[in-house]
Amino acid sequence: MYKNSFLLLCFLFVVSTIYAQNIESPNRQLSLTFDIDQGVPYYTLSYKGKKVIEKSRLGFEMINIPSMKNDFNLLKSSTSAFDETWKPVWGEVKEIRNQYNELEIVLEQGNPIRTVIIRFRLYNDGLGFRYEFPNQKHLSYFTIADELTQFNLGKDYTAFWIRGDYDTNEYNYTTSLLSDVVKKIDIATEEISAQTPTQEITVQTPLMLKGNGIYINIHEASLKDYPAMLLELDSTGVVLSTHLTPDPLGGKGRMQTATQTPWRTLLISDNAADILASKMILNLNEPNKIEDTSWIKPMKYIGVWWEMFIPKGGSWAYADTANIKLDEIDYSQIKPNGRHAANTKNVKRYIDFAAKHGFDGVLVEGWNIGWEDWFGTMKENVFDFVTPYPDFDVKELQQYASQQGVKLIMHHETSASVPNYERRMDEAYRFMKENGYNAVKSGYVGSIIPLGEHHYGQTMVNHYLRAIEKGADYKVMINAHEPVRPTGMHRTYPNYLAAESARGTEYEALGNVKPDHQTILPFTRLIGGPMDYTPGIFQTDLSYYDPSTKNRINTTLAKQLALYVTMYSPLQMAADLPENYERFADAFQFIKDVPVDWDDTRILEAEPGDYITITRKEKNGDDWFIGSITDENKRVSSISLDFLDPDKSYIATIYADGTDADYETKPQSYSIKNYRVNYKSKLSIPVARSGGYAIHIKNATSQQIKELKEQ
């Protein structure tokens, strides 16, 4: 009996050894093991010799074919190494190294036999893996019921999370243990228009975790022709499973071979700064597909926008009416409401301001007919994207802007009526090119039409990509609002400059953005790509416009400056009213000076939910810019300037919180001082509650070296 038991154990050990496959990251700090246990594929991941992902299953439940979750056999496996350096069209750094070790697992299952490939890429800073379904005789068309991919953490972690939802990611972040998510999820489910929170306990990605001496970020890369992923928590909170956005019939991916899933990604480090510095998500996307990129230009802009959010402000709509039909309404017969902001005279004022202060563009929202009943009606034929209101002269404004070297930025709010936008997209882009527009801000506010589709479902994922590809055909740059959160696709399509896909500045007008929000976003939403956060609000107390209003922006003015460095985007808006910048012209100088494209980026300090300090070097220049922000707690930021050239002296202009600054009581208290600095300089700068500082460092002249105090 004992002999037979011993032989059985030996047999099981040999079988496990045969199936077990291993790779290490190039620096050997991460190691991955793939195994098959009783026909079920699993993986584990270790960091510096300690498991960070325990045994986690892989596979699929299917709808119209037998499931692919067990009875697998290992057909073959292979390993390879890859190392290249590539240059992005725009970005945070001049060059990006793409180095990984790869494990390819080929599995077969069923009778007749079906084949699936699981491809693992192990980087120095994390893991990416995906499923691939090659062309084969017995697998052509199939619909996924559930993707069974797990992330078994094995331990509890502090999580920075938002509620799992199929249609919006514009929630405030909650910070809690994973095991406490179930207790807090109802409170975290704020009321938002067009929301569809899941019935299950889910959170959205990118999900940032900290604890047990490490930091982990879970997301996905290269999302296309597949629904977006949420993470479903088990009863313990430590086993996370993929939860895909369903289509109207309950399917979670309509597939045709040859095809593949997006990459499932894990960033791992014992230093939070490494998470922010990682380029793994970008590296897992395909190289640039746009041959001529000379027309793609990062830009800084202002716009007719914020005045529609402030109390007693302007209006998108031309008239106070409702129940309009685009092909029947005659606006010459309708009384204007007198508040329409996108009128020729007002837009010229913005163009003048942009030209005077060196801004590239002016966004104009509410220029086109249809805004009177655009929201909440589930109306399909809501906008035509080419017909202006009577008080908006397209030709005159384009000529006026062109004479001053300013570009007007188009706005395409779709009201989530996707069939309407798809039908009119070519005409809308042609209109742009004929009238000098080279960039568009699109919007998808509301419930998706066709009914039953979701913002993050496969159909909409494909639509967003079509809009980007169509933009490339017409040489138009895209800034999408309310789309699925980015997954690094801007490497493949660099005309996709930015997206919103999170709670942005417009929610500040409601006084509903927490002081720690901007210290979390770079660790979550921005992991997938740049965000059009629209910072730069100087008049933070909105009772300035209406004494009965108690809403405020929950930052200091200096923190608003710092956001231009900490919240990366090649498309940055100075969102406040021109007259507010004129009131604080000395602080506005930083917004005028700060670039939107960079050669180098260094993370000087970082702790999710607490503080971030980042320095960046301008593209093709010598100037450095630093931004530092904190949460609701004041602190002292201590940094070294050892990134500077040791052979040069510099002048540092420091825009800091005033000694009495506080986001609630003295948000507009700030100081501006100049110092002489070099690579040996060390700075200790007090930061107010929800405050920050911004620094512009440039080469010092000999006269400045004599006159300025050394810091």
Residues involved in catalysis:
506
Nearest one of 595, 597, 596, 578 to 356, comparing CA atoms: 578
Q: Which amino acid is at 79?
A: T
Nearest one of 96, 500, 612, 578 to 305, comparing CA atoms: 578
Nearest one of 241, 234, 199, 32 to 121, comparing CA atoms: 32
**Is 659 strand, coil or helix?**
coil
| Cα gap 467→341, rounded to integer Å | 27
Both tokens of 69, joined, read 């979750």
Q: Do β-strands 407-413 and 361-364 pair in parallel, antiparallel, or remain unpaired?
A: parallel
Q: How far is CA 433 from CA 304, 344, 364, in A?
A: 21, 20, 16
Which residues is 442 bridged to in the sheet?
Answer: 412, 480
Spatial contact of 240 and 214, defined as CB atoms under 8 Å apart: no
Scanning the structure block, which residue is given the tokens 């896909």? 501
Both tokens of 526, joined, read 């921005």
| Cα gap 275→637, rounded to integer Å | 20
Distance of alpha carbon 27 from the chain centroid: 28
Both tokens of 48, joined, read 């510096």
Q: What is the DSSP string of 377-393?
A: S--SS---SSPBPTT--
Give the H/E segment covering residue 210.
strand 207-211
**Is 70 strand, coil or helix?**
coil
Between 557-566 and 585-593, two packed helices, what is the crossing angle to 10 degrees? 0
Spatial contact of 420 and 383, defined as CB atoms under 8 Å apart: yes
**HEC string for 501-530:** CCCCHHHHHHCCCCCCHHHHHHHCHHHCCC
Which residues is 163 bridged to in the sheet?
Answer: 203
Nearest one of 34, 24, 30 to 47, comparing CA atoms: 30
Q: Which amino acid is at 189?
A: T
Give the H/E segment covering residue 428.
helix 418-434
H and E: helices and strands count for the chain: 13, 36
Question: Which value, in Å, is the radius of gyration of the alpha carbons in the chain?
Answer: 26
Nearest one of 611, 629, 621 to 694, comparing CA atoms: 629
User: Which class for 647: exposed (0-12), middle (13-18), buried (19 or more C-beta within 10 A)?
Assistant: exposed
Distance of alpha carbon 169 from the chain centroid: 11
- Edge-to-edge strand list for the sheet holding 40-47: 21-24, 30-37, 40-47, 50-57
Both tokens of 554, joined, read 């929950």
> 533 φ, ψ to 5°?
-80, -20
H runs (alpha helix) in 128-286: 181-188, 272-277, 280-283
The angle subtended at Cα 320 by Cα 315 and Cα 322, nearest 5°, is 115
Both tokens of 651, joined, read 């002048």
**Is 639 strand, coil or helix?**
strand
